[in-house]
């Protein structure tokens, strides 16, 4: 078999991220990157828990916890994290996704010990009160009202996940279900914390200006003192059955400025070999103004105001999505026809050497930009460790992308982007 | 019982060696500043190069009747050159994974580019080509329409509107007084010829600074700059002299804009303070930090102690000529009089007594922390060096900044506050004056009231007609 992999300008000399990797006796995985460009440090604590791990009938628990983790501990008042970061020239935040809940801080490097203490403290001694539970539940439901109900197309992602998955908990999304949350009790919440917030279910990453021996000592002192949890962490074992026929729904809502169409195809998990070719397919089809969808649907035929492709690679099998928002006056059927034609083209003919090179150059560029900040490096490590169980991927991924051939792109398009494997959501004005 | 476990205290701040910039001047007068940041032991460099072109021509170089000219000119730079259309530029930049941007302030217009090392030369050539703009009629209209549309959003926001009014109160008809984004009237009157003339007058090599840095050694950066920008010709006409800021004619010091549809009232207190190259810059930066941020005095007094607002803060705007100190908050209409009193007392308090060291130390950390975060990226370093060059501050400040902040003590803060924060501040209120107007008029009979529909940012007097009566 011939492979057309031209030498590309994207083949840049990327210095590897030099990280140490060890696991404490209680199971906490610790990744450290020493770097002295600026006197600051980024701390990330990622937990292997996300929307897919929400208990049945308790959709939104992982997300609710992201909020409760800021409400104080046995040893600290609510919003202590803000005071320990913002008040010394740093910042902090957290996010919840399908497979991970990640907490992060960036502070001047002389505050590293303080923040390690604070992160260990909220893992070991979080104070969950009825009052905090109730107020944060309201905040999460308020977020649902704002992001899902009030924003244009807010329900789109929820609908896509709900329709594309029949069995796997990815069908429930991340943000949470207001009815589920309102039915929950403090006991449910305490139980969820005990189940997932344990050292052997977390990854600690520190990147920046520190002394490794001193830092390992602090980590041992504050995190190492947390006892090893008994038993094992429950894991989602449900496997989504293969889809055999197209599913389609039509959803009408009040706040829809222009009709939108979304296609979602099942694709394999992030740590399987096809991930790189799928990411390249995403870039060729739908990243920016040099992409095929922009040329065809937005600029050329002016059927759409935006047209994107996204390879949403997750810990378990994810989705390859197309999202098209129509232009005023254009027809849903016409836009779908043009989109179908682009998908057929990717399956039917090899991408050109220039297009492949352009996509690799773009991917290499975003890799490089992500490495500029300590928190960017920390985030890539924590995600690789949790979603792919392979932190070393941060150093091998670029080569994986550069090795993808035009034939590989055609093969993944043919394998996954076919109608029987597809869920269609038409999102229309009332 | 649980013993109260306290967080461990921070250790002494650690230092860092930042890049040392070097510079040269091309034959056409273009000043070129270069810095290298490459991978070394325990310092991960990235294969990326960033460049910025800083042109000494900003909103203060345009006439009051042409407000928005500079901003429109900068916005149009990426929308077409003599060789490439807007879409072609966007496509080329996108295909390289590069970033290209243009924006402007009162003192300068800045164009920036970054790309990975293997493709930087191609991106840099596009960046050079932007100085041969087409200013195509269709693009002028598109950008003009969008700019006018954006004004509606600005005017509907009480905080944004209060800042525009504050600039008029502080500077009157002098060049920092008119709105940088223009008004519907001035934008409508701008022509392609005026835009091209503005570009021709100010965008010239002997009036610009080029910063290049990252994964490139200075010698290569200088050679590249010469190869690509060496053919940028100096126009035959003499370089215009920037208009200095004149002291404004007597402006009202307390302006109330009655905006009945505002959700809350914006309060802005401030005054003209210092230039960027003032020796007081570091004291001013620390004094502002004492007032600003969640744990800063304004937020503590207004939000934490009294619950008058979700937040309050301060900003020191520094420019070529003295910029403004501004304190701002957003409060319920019924709390305006009380909040104004608290803002004023808080500003005065900083001048009346020295800050104690326990309060000062963390506020200084917020300043150095923000500085280091700002220079974590190549764009950040290039931007910092470009600003130093624009304001004729020695480039060594990059490596001296943290020590200068560390040297500021309570007496410096108090002195700065007495001279530039507490002394005779102006006050701008934008909100529903039906609710708070009477209380303000009783406490401040000198207050000038303007109805939002009668507000005219085109003129220093802020109103075309005579001032309206108090509600």
Q: Which residue segments constitute the domains of chain B, with CATH numbers given?
A: 22-229 (3.30.830.10), 254-454 (3.30.830.10)
Verify whether the Cβ–Cβ distance B43 to A83 is below 8 Å.
no
Q: Classify residue A7: in a domain, yes or no.
A: no
SS3 B432: coil
Q: How many CA atoms lie within 13 A of A203 on its CB side?
A: 25
Contact B10 A114 (CB under 8 A): yes
Residue A90 shares a structural domain with residue A212 = yes
Tokens for A362, please give them. Answer: 């773009």
- pLDDT tens figures, B284-303: 999 999 999 999 999 999 99
Question: Is A84 part of any domain?
Answer: yes
Q: Which residue of B has its CA nearest to A38?
A: B16
Distance from CA of A354 to the nearest CA of B (A): 10
* Pair A261, A372 in one domain: yes
pLDDT in tens, B228-276: 999 999 999 998 887 667 766 667 789 999 999 999 999 999 999 999 9
Helices (H), B157-232: 158-171, 184-189, 192-202, 218-229
**d(CA B375, nearest CA chain A) in Å:** 8
Whether A43 and A118 have beta carbons less than 8 Å apart is answered as no
A230 lies in some domain = no
> B13 and A110: CB-CB below 8 Å?
yes
Q: Which residues in chain B are closer than 8 Å to A366, comparing Cβ atoms? A: 97
Residue A2 within a domain: no
Residue A385: give the domain boundaries: 247-429
- Which residue is listed with tokens 């930090």? B289
Percent of chain B with pLDDT over 90: 87
A36, A90, A218: best mutation site toward chain B, by most B Cβ within 10 Å? A36
Give the chain B residue nearest A106 (alpha carbons): B373
Kindly identify which residue of chain A lies nearest to residue B115, measuring between CA atoms: A365
User: A156 and A104 in one domain?
Assistant: yes
Spell out the per-residue pLDDT of chain A, length 430, in tens: 445 445 556 578 788 999 999 999 999 999 999 999 999 999 999 999 999 999 999 999 999 999 999 999 999 999 999 999 999 999 999 999 999 999 999 999 999 999 999 999 999 999 999 999 999 999 999 888 888 888 889 899 999 999 999 999 999 989 999 999 999 999 999 999 999 999 999 999 999 999 999 999 999 999 999 999 999 999 999 999 999 999 999 999 887 889 999 999 999 999 999 999 999 999 999 988 889 999 999 988 889 999 999 999 999 999 999 999 999 999 999 999 999 999 999 999 999 999 999 999 999 999 999 999 999 999 999 999 999 999 999 999 999 999 999 999 999 999 999 999 999 999 999 8
Number of independent structural domains in chain A: 2
Residues A31 and A76 in one domain: yes
Query: Is A8 among the domain residues?
Result: no
Residue to substitute from B3, B9, B11, B14, interface A, most A β-carbons within 10 A: B14
Contact A118 B376 (CB under 8 A): no
Contact A372 B48 (CB under 8 A): yes
Q: What's the CA gap between A315 and B79, in Å, rounded?
A: 42
Interface touch A87/B48, C-beta < 8 Å: no
* CATH number for the domain harbouring residue A414: 3.30.830.10
User: Is residue A365 within 8 Å of A11, Cβ to Cβ?
Assistant: no
Whether A131 and A202 share a structural domain: yes
Question: In angstroms, what separates the C-alpha of A360 from chain B's closest C-alpha?
Answer: 9
Q: Among A84, A110, A363, select the one facing B7 at the smallest CB separation.
A: A84
- CA-nearest residue to B95 within chain A is A358
- B48:A369 CB<8 A: yes
Show Cβ contacts of residue A124 under 8 Å, excluding neighbours closer than 6 positions.
A73, A225, A226
Please report whether residue A180 resides in a domain. Answer: yes
A5 lies in some domain: no
Q: Are residues A76 and B7, on separate chains, in Cβ contact within 8 Å? A: yes
Cβ–Cβ gap A372/B2 under 8 Å: no
Q: How far is residue B449's CA from residue B255's CA, in Å, rounded to a whole number?
A: 6
pLDDT beyond 60 at B86: yes
In a mutagenesis test of the B interface, which of A72, A88, A114 is the best target, namely the one with the most B β-carbons within 10 Å? A88
Smallest Cβ–Cβ distance between B14 and the set A35, A83, A110 belongs to A110
Measured in angstroms, the CA of B275 and the nearest CA of chain A are apart by 24
B44 token code pair:
């991960």
Cα B41 from chain centroid (whole Å): 36
A123 and A256 together in one domain = no
pTM attached to this predicted model? 0.93
CA distance B93 to chain A (A): 9
């Amino acid at each position: 078999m011939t492979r057309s992999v031209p030498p590309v300008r994207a083949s840049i000399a990327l210095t590897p991220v030099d990280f140490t990797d060890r696991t404490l006796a209680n199971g906490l995985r610790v990744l450290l990157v020493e770097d002295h460009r600026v006197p600051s440090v980024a701390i990330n604590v990622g937990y292997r828990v996300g929307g897919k791990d929400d208990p049945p009938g308790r959709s939104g628990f992982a997300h609710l916890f992201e909020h409760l983790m800021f409400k104080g501990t046995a040893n600290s008042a609510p919003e202590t994290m803000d005071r320990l970061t913002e008040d010394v020239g740093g910042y902090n935040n957290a996010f919840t996704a399908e497979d991970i809940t990640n907490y992060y801080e960036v502070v001047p490097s002389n505050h590293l010990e303080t923040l390690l203490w604070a992160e260990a403290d909220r893992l070991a001694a979080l104070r969950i009160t009825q009052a905090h539970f109730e107020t944060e539940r309201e905040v999460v439901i308020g977020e649902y009202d704002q992001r899902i109900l009030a924003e244009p197309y807010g329900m789109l992602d929820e609908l896509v996940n709900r329709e594309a998955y029949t069995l796997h908990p990815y069908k429930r999304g991340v943000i949470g279900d207001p009815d589920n949350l309102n039915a929950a009790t403090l006991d449910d919440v305490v139980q969820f914390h005990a189940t997932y917030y344990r050292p052997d279910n977390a990854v600690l990453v520190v990147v920046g200006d520190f002394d490794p021996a001193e830092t390992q000592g602090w980590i041992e002192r504050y995190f190492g003192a947390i006892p090893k949890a008994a038993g094992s962490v429950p894991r989602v074992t449900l496997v989504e059955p293969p889809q055999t026929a197209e599913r389609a729904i039509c959803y009408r809502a009040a706040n829809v400025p222009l009709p939108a169409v979304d296609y979602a195809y099942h694709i394999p998990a992030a740590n399987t070999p096809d991930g790189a070719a799928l990411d390249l397919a995403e870039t060729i089809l739908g990243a920016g103004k040099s992409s095929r969808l922009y040329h065809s649907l937005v600029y050329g035929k002016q059927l759409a105001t935006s047209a994107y492709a996204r390879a949403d690679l997750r810990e378990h099998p994810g989705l390859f999505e197309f999202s098209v928002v129509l232009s005023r006056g254009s027809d849903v059927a016409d836009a779908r026809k043009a989109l179908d034609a682009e998908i057929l083209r990717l399956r039917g003919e090899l991408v050109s050497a220039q297009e492949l090179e352009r996509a690799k150059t773009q991917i290499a560029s975003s890799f490089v930009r992500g490495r500029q900040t300590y928190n960017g490096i920390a985030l890539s490590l924590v995600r690789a460790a949790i979603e792919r169980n392979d932190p070393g991927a941060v150093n091998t991924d670029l080569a994986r992308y550069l090795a993808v051939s035009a034939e590989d792109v055609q093969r993944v398009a043919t394998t996954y982007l076919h109608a029987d494997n597809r869920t269609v959501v038409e999102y229309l004005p009332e | 019982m649980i013993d109260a476990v306290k967080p461990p205290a921070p250790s002494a701040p650690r230092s860092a060696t930042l890049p040392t910039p070097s510079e040269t001047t091309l034959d056409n007068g273009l000043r070129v500043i270069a810095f290298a940041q490459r991978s070394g032991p325990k310092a991960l460099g990235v294969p990326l190069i960033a460049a910025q072109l800083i042109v000494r021509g900003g909103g203060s170089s345009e006439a009051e009747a042409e407000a928005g000219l500079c901003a429109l000119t900068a916005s149009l730079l990426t929308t077409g050159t003599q060789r490439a259309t807007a879409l072609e530029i966007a496509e080329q930049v996108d295909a390289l994974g590069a970033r290209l941007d243009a924006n402007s302030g009162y003192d300068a217009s800045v164009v920036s580019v970054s790309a990975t090392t293997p493709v930087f030369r191609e991106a840099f050539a596009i960046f050079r080509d932007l100085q041969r703009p087409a200013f195509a009629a269709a693009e002028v209209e598109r950008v003009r329409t969008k700019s006018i549309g954006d004004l509606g959003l600005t005017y509907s926001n009480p905080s944004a509107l209060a800042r525009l009014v504050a600039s008029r109160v502080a500077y009157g008809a002098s060049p920092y007084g008119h709105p940088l984004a223009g008004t519907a009237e001035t934008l409508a009157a701008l022509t392609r010829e005026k835009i091209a003339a503005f570009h021709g007058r100010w965008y010239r090599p002997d009036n610009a600074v080029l910063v290049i840095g990252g994964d490139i050694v200075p010698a290569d950066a200088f050679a590249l700059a010469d190869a690509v920008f060496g053919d940028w010709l100096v126009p035959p006409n003499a370089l215009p002299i920037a208009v200095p800021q004149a002291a404004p004619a007597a402006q009202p010091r307390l302006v109330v804009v009655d905006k009945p549809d505002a959700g809350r009232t914006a309060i802005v207190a401030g005054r003209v303070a210092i230039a960027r190259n003032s020796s007081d810059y570091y004291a001013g930066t620390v004094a502002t930090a004492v007032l600003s941020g969640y744990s800063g005095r304004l937020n503590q007094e207004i939000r934490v102690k009294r619950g008058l607002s979700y937040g309050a803060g301060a900003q020191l705007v520094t420019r070529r000529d003295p910029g403004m100190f501004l304190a701002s908050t957003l409060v319920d209409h019924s709390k305006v009089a009380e909040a104004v009193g608290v803002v004023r007392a808080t500003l005065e308090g900083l001048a009346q007594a020295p800050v104690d060291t326990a309060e000062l130390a963390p506020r200084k950390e917020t300043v150095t922390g923000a500085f280091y975060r700002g220079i974590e990226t190549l764009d950040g370093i290039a931007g910092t060096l470009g600003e130093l060059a624009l304001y004729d501050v020695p480039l060594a400040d990059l490596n001296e900044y943290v020590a200068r902040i560390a040297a500021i003590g309570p007496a410096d803060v108090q002195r700065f506050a007495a001279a530039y924060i507490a002394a005779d501040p102006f006050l701008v209120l934008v909100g529903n004056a039906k609710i708070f107007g009477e209380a303000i008029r009783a406490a401040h009979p000198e207050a000038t009231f303007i109805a939002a529909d009668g507000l005219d940012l085109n003129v220093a007097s802020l109103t075309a007609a005579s001032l309206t009566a108090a509600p």
